[in-house]
Structure 1
Amino acid sequence: MHNGILISLSGLDEVSYDRHRHIVKVGAGNRWTNVYNHLDPKGVAVLGSRDSDVGVSGFLLGGGISFLSNKYGWSSDNVVEYEIVLANGSIIKANKYQHVDLLGCLRGGSSNFGIVTSFTLKTYNINAHAAGVVRYAQSSVPQLFTPLYNYIMTGQDADPNYHIIPNFIKDAGQPHRATFTQFYTREVDLSNPPLVMKPFVDGSIPAYNNFVANLTGVGSLPKAFGGGSTLSSPFRSQWHVTSVLADEQLFRTIHSLWLNVSLPYETSIPGFSNSIAMQPIGNKYIQTTNATPGRNVLGITAPLVVISANIYWSNASDDTTMELFLKDLFTQIKAAAAAVGKAAGYEYLNYGGVNQNPISQYGHNNLVKLRWVKRKYDPRNVFGTLVEGGFKIPGI
C-alpha cells in the first residue's frame, strides 16, 4: 500500500456468549483460535474455520465452509447479525428485522459494503466428537475415488454429522499422497465407525497414518491445523479454485492432470509444493440458504464439488511462473469437466486466486442484487475505489 492508511481491527477481539439465546457476538479482529478458546470450555460450537489461524471476518464474508456445514450449511448463513460501519460513517446492524437486503449481500459479498465490526453467530451444543487425519500413500490413492464419489452422492446427505476434507499432496521429489481430514459431530466407536465414515477409517484402504480419535472441544482439530500464523511462513503461496459436478472418472482425470501439469515445476522451482482438494457442497448448504432470512448471494442451486489448489514456492522471482502454472492447470481442469458436461462454474471466494474474481460467478440475478445494494449503501463506491485488494463487484 502506498500513500494510504492501514486500519487494524485486531483490537476488536470481543467474544461474548449468550447461553440463553444460543448466540455469540464475535469481534471482527478475532482469529478463530480465540473464538474456540472461549467456546470450547462451555461445550458449544460455531461454524468457524477449519484452520484456527484464519481471521473471522474474511472467512464469514466469503461464505465459509466449516466442519459442521454438512449439518448446518454455510457459515455465513449462521450469522444472525452483522454490525457494519458504512462509508458515510454511520453504524448499522443488518439482521432479519432491518437491512435484510444488506444482510444477504454480506453473506458472500466480501468487504464491498463497509467495515464489519462484529458478527453474531448461532451456537450449537456440540463438544465431544471424533476427528483427525488419515494419510494414504501413493499406492492407496486410486482406491479413494470410488468411496469419495459415493460419499458425495449419498453419504453426506444420509449422515450430515460427518465431514471430510479430501486433499491430495505432492512435494518435490516425493511420491504423491492423500490426507483425508475427518470430523464427526459426536463420539464414535472407532472399532465400528458409522457407515458413512467406515471406508476411510476401517483400514480397508491401507493408510500409513490414522490419527482419528474421540476429542473434546470442537476447536481442537482446527487449532491443530493452525500452529502459527501463515504470515511468518518463509514460503510464497497462491490459491486457485473452480467447481465441478460429481463424477468419479472426472475426479481421477483431475488428479492425473494435476500430477502431470505439476511435474516440470518440481525440479525447476525452488521450494515447490502443491496440493489439490475436492470439497463437496451438498444439499444441506442449499436447504439452509433457502430457509434463512437474507438469502446469500453465492448462487448455488445444486450440489457441486469445489476443486481448489494451493501451491508454495520460495522465490519472488518465480511468482509469474507460478501464476501461469495455476492458469494452465485450471484451464485443463475446466476443459475436462466441460467435455463430460460436468462444469459448474462457481468459485469459492475464500480460495480465489489473484487473477480470479469469484463474485463474477455468482449468477446474473445475484450480481444485479449486489450492484443495487452496493449503490444503496456505498453510493460513492468508497470500498471499491479507495480500498485496495479484495474481490470487487463487477459492473460498479
Structure 2
Amino acid sequence: MILPFAFRTIAAGLFLLESAKAQPGDANSCTKLANALPGRVYLPGTPNYTSLNTHRWSNTSILTPNCIVTPGSAQEVSTVVKTLVGDGTSFSIKSGGHNPNPTFNNIDNGVTVDLKLLNEASVSADRSYVTLGAGTTMGQAYDTFSNESIAFPGGICDGVGVGGISTGGGQSFFLPKLGWFVDNVLDYEIVLASGDIVNANQDSNSDLFKALKGGSTNFGIVTKVEVAAFTYNGLWGGQIVVPATNATTQQVLKDFTDFTAANNDNVDTAIMVVGLYSPDGSRIIDVGLASTNDTENPPILAPFLALQPQVLNTIGHKSLADFVHEVTQPMPDGYRMLTATLTFVNDLETLTQVQAATDVIYEEIKDSVPNLDWMFSYNPQPLAMMAHAAARGGNSLGLESLDHDQTLYWLVPRWTDASSDAIMHAAAARWYDEVGKITAKLGTADPFLYLNHAGYFQKPLCGTGADNVDNMKTVARKYDPQEAFQRLVPGGHKLSTEC
C-alpha cells in the first residue's frame, strides 16, 4: 500500500526520532569526563542535573542523558570531544536550547554537552566586532551591549543561542540591510572531531568557514564567533496587537505582501507577524515592527500602524535589548512545542491560501488537544538580504541565485500534555504536505527551508541545492573524515542522511 505523503513523512520522522536515541557506546564516558573535568559533569538525580536538563524552550526537548557536561573553555570542549569520539558515545550539543525538535539539543542515554559556560560577550578595542561564546543567548548579548551604543545583526528571540544561530542562518531585524547573522560572522572558533581547535575565516580554513554558515553541526562544535558590529543607539518600534477577524487577517496579509516587496528600498525597516489562536477561543495577530534607524513613522509601516481595533500598542523609542525582550514575550518557555516551516515566493494569493490551510488544520484538531495555542509566524525575506553574503566569503544557505522576494512561514504551536504529541506531529506533517501542494499549484514554491525553523521530518540541507550539498559533504569529509558528528550526534539535520 502506498501511504499519502503526509503519513509517509511523519512515519519517517518518528523512525528518525526513535533511531536518534543514543547507542550505548562506552558506558564509562561519564566517569572519564568527571575525572578529566572535575565539577563539570552532572549525573541523574542531582539538583544541577535537573535544572540543566529542564532549562529549554520546549519541554519536548527534556530527555534523559546519562550525564550532562558543561565545559568552560574550548580546551575543555576538546577534552569532551576526544573522550566521546574515542569511546564511540552518542552525544548532543546544547547552545541556547531554543529548538523544540526532540534530540536536537538533548539526548536519551548518551551525553549532553551544554555550552552554557561559554557565555562571553565582549566588544573589540576598535568596536568593529563583538566576540560571542557559543553558549551566549541573544538576550544575554543584547543586555551586555545595551549601554555600549553598539549592536550586531543577531536573533529575534531572547533564548536563541549563538551556537545554533551561527550555523543555521540567523534572521534579525537587520536582515534587509545587513543580511543573515552568518553573513556577518568574521571568525569561528571550532573544535573538530579530532579534538583540534581551529579558526575558520576568509583567510584560514575558508572552505570550513563557508560550510559552517548554514551547515549546522556536521563539522564540529563551534565555541565562539566574532561578529561584525556597528554603532547603534536604539530603534523606534514595538508591537501592535489586533483581533484576528477575517477582515483584519486579510488586511494584514495584503499589508505584509506589500511590505516585503517594498522592503528592498526601505532596508531600515522590519516586521514579524505572529498569529495566536488560544484555547479560550480568542484569536490575535501580533505585529512586531521596527524602524531600525530610529526614524518615527516611516511610510512603509503606516498600514500596520493604522490597524484597528488595537488591543495593544507599544510603539516608541527603545533599545534593541528592550525590543527583543518585548517581542519574545508571546513565545515563553515551559510548553511542549513543535516547529515546521515553508518558504514561497512573496505573493498575496499564495499567502492567503497557506493561511486558510493552516486554519483548516487547526479547526480539525483544536478539540482533541487540551490547552492548545495554535501559533504561526510569517517573516519577509526581501531579495535585498542576499546583497551581503559574497563580501565575506558567501554562505551555505543556497540563496545565491535567488531572483525573487520570499515569504518564510513558520508553524510553531504549543500545548501542555505529552499525550497530544502524536496528534500535533501528524498535524505538522499534514500542514507541510498541504501548503506544499498550494505553492506547487500556484507556481510559487521555493526550495529554501530555514534550518533553524525546520521540523525533524524536513530536509533543509537538501533545499540549499546540489552544489551546496556537495560542497558541504566535501568539507565534512576533510575536517571529519570518520563522520563522527554525523554518526554520534543524532540530533540536527545531517548531510549523510538527508541528501
Q: Identify the TM-score tier after normalising by the shorter chain.
A: over 0.9
Partner of residue 169, structure 2: 63
**Mapped contact 1:53–1:229 kept (Cα < 8 A):** no
Residue from 384, 398, 402 that aligns with 1:299: 398
> How far apart, in 2, do the equivalents of 1:180 and 1:204 lie?
10
Deviation at 1:103, TM superposition (A): 0.5
> How far apart, in 1, do the equivalents of 2:257 and 2:150 lie?
32
Partner of residue 185, structure 1: 292
> How far apart, in 2, do the equivalents of 1:228 and 1:136 lie?
14
Q: Where do residues 145-294 of structure 1 align in structure 2 (5 Å cutoff)?
A: 145-153=253-261, 155-189=262-296, 193-201=297-305, 203=306, 205-215=308-318, 217-226=319-328, 233=334, 235-293=335-393
1:345 aligns with 2:459: no
Partner of residue 133, structure 1: 239
1:89 aligns with 2:211: no
**Mapped contact 1:95–1:103 kept (Cα < 8 A):** yes
Structure 2 residues without counterparts, runs of 5 or longer: 1-106
Given the two structures, how large is their TM-score scaled by the length of structure 2? 0.75
Letter matched to residue 341 of structure 1? G
Residues 1:2 and 1:274: Cα distance change in structure 2 (over 3 Å): closer
Partner of residue 250, structure 2: 142
SS for the counterpart of 1:97 is coil
Q: Where do residues 31-50 of structure 1 align in structure 2 (5 Å cutoff)?
A: 31-50=137-156
Query: What CA deviation, in whole Å up to 9, does each residue of 1:156-196 have, x standing for no partner?
Result: 1111010000222212342432111011113233xxx1111
> How far apart, in 2, do the equivalents of 1:369 and 1:144 lie?
40
**Mapped contact 2:183–2:388 kept (Cα < 8 A):** yes
Letter matched to residue 264 of structure 1? E
Query: What CA deviation, in whole Å up to 9, does each residue of 1:124-182 have, x standing for no partner?
Result: 112221121111212322212222111111x2111101000022221234243211101
> How far apart, in 2, do the equivalents of 1:49 and 1:253 lie?
28
Partner of residue 330, structure 1: 432
Residue from 446, 470, 493 that aligns with 1:368: 470
Deviation at 1:112, TM superposition (A): 1.0
Query: What CA deviation, in whole Å up to 9, does each residue of 1:227-256 have, x standing for no partner?
Result: 6995x50x2100101111011111111111
Letter matched to residue 243 of structure 1? T
Query: What CA deviation, in whole Å up to 9, does each residue of 1:59-99 have, x standing for no partner?
Result: 22100001111110001110100000111111110011111
Query: What CA deviation, in whole Å up to 9, does each residue of 1:309-362 have, x standing for no partner?
Result: 001112212211111101111211111111110011211011111211211211
SS for the counterpart of 1:4 is strand
Task: Single out whichever of 340-349 and 218-227 deviates more from structure 2.
Answer: 218-227
Query: What CA deviation, in whole Å up to 9, does each residue of 1:270-308 have, x standing for no partner?
Result: 111112222121122211123322x11111132311111
Letter matched to residue 63 of structure 1? G
Partner of residue 115, structure 1: 221
Q: How large is the Cα RMSD of the aligned pairs?
A: 1.8
**Mapped contact 2:238–2:327 kept (Cα < 8 A):** no
> How far apart, in 2, do the equivalents of 1:328 and 1:223 lie?
33
Partner of residue 207, structure 2: 101
Letter matched to residue 297 of structure 1? S
> How far apart, in 2, do the equivalents of 1:394 and 1:342 lie?
29
**How many aligned positions are there?**
387
**Mapped contact 1:173–1:266 kept (Cα < 8 A):** no
Task: Single out whichever of 104-113 and 309-318 deviates more from structure 2.
Answer: 309-318
**Larger Rg: 1 or 2?**
2
> How far apart, in 1, do the equivalents of 2:108 and 2:231 lie?
46
Task: Single out whichever of 160-169 and 374-383 deviates more from structure 2.
Answer: 160-169
Residues 1:229 and 1:195: Cα distance change in structure 2 (over 3 Å): closer
SS for the counterpart of 1:146 is helix
**Mapped contact 2:190–2:222 kept (Cα < 8 A):** yes
**Mapped contact 2:383–2:406 kept (Cα < 8 A):** no
1:79 aligns with 2:179: no
Letter matched to residue 398 of structure 2? G
1:354 aligns with 2:456: yes
Task: Single out whichever of 168-177 and 156-165 deviates more from structure 2.
Answer: 168-177
SS for the counterpart of 1:157 is coil
> How far apart, in 2, do the equivalents of 1:392 and 1:250 lie?
30
> How far apart, in 1, do the equivalents of 2:392 and 2:190 lie?
20
> How far apart, in 1, do the equivalents of 2:113 and 2:146 lie?
30
Structure 1 residues without counterparts, runs of 5 or longer: none
1:8 aligns with 2:108: no
